[in-house]
Amino acid sequence: MKLGKVILTLVLLTAVTLYSGDPKKFGKDLTVKTTTKISEIYSNPSQYIGKKVVIEGHIVDVCAKRGCWMEVKSDKPGQTMRVKVNDGEIVFPLDKKGSWAKVEGEVQELKLTKEEAIEFYQHKAEEQKQKFDPKTVTGPVTFYQLKGFGAEIY
DSSP 54: E
**Domain locations along the chain:** 22-153
* pLDDT tens digits, one per residue of 110-121: 999 999 999 999
DSSP 21: S
Distance (Å, whole) CA 131 – CA 137: 14
- The whole-angstrom distance between residue 6's C-alpha and the CA centroid of its chain comes to 32
* pLDDT tens digits, one per residue of 23-67: 999 999 999 999 999 999 999 999 999 999 999 999 999 998 889
In this prediction, residue 6 carries a pLDDT of 41
Q: CATH classification of 22-153 is 3.40.190.10, yes or no?
A: no
